[in-house]
Amino acid sequence: MASLFLWTGGQAVRAEELKNLLTNPGFEEIAPLVIGEPAFKDSLPGVTEMPKGWMINYSAYPGMLTVMYDPENSHGGMKYIRLEQTKKVMVALMGSAAPVKTGEKYLFSIWVKGKGRIALTVYTYNPKGFVGSIGGEWMDVSSAEWKEVKAELVIPEDRERIVSAVHVEGSVDCDDARLVPLKN
Ligand SMILES: [Ca+2]
């Protein structure tokens, strides 16, 4: 894995040692998909498992998620996930929520391969609810080998939590996501 060095208070630290705020970032913990409402089943035909701490934004951006039990080809651990666009809209995978403060800077990254495009997007919320998205720049990630994509994000005013989202067009394999705070 490539190392990213950050300068913090006169001491270089490896980004890998910073606290990852995402739950189950390597997609190793898998849960059976619980169908809570009919629309969910219709929106995600064929999806039977979901990594714990992650969900498909099925109402707006449905698509196919497949858990790949393939240690030889995983970037890390025993598994990775494949996100496939099945409709005209992108597929959107959402991670766990993290508390944040205005002005804080974060690095959101994930390892990817496949054929398609990805946008690392962060949904932001204040106490009243959803405010808007930040990031979300589309990147072509077509590659047979794992590559790491990254986005640096600064939390705007009046936000108290964020949800990290992976937007995909085409078919993109994902592993080892990371959301870590950076020093300003
Ligand atoms: Ca993994």
Domain ranges of the chain: 19-182
Q: Give the pLDDT confidence of 42-101 residue by residue, as tens digits.
A: 667 788 888 999 988 887 888 899 999 999 999 999 999 999 999 899 999 999 999 999
Residues with CB under 5 A from ligand 1 (ion): 26, 74, 76-77, 175
Q: What is the rounded average pLDDT of the residues 1-22?
A: 58
Predicted TM-score (pTM) of the model is: 0.86
CATH code of the domain made up of 19-182: 2.60.120.260
How far is ligand 1, taken at its centre, from the CA of residue 28, in Å?
A: 5
Residue 175: partners with Cβ closer than 8 Å, 6 or more residues away: 26, 27, 74, 75, 76, 77, 79, 80, 81, 110, 111, 112, 146
How far is ligand 1, taken at its centre, from the CA of residue 136, in Å?
A: 23
How far is ligand 1, taken at its centre, from the CA of residue 22, in Å?
A: 13
How far is ligand 1, taken at its centre, from the CA of residue 74, in Å?
A: 6
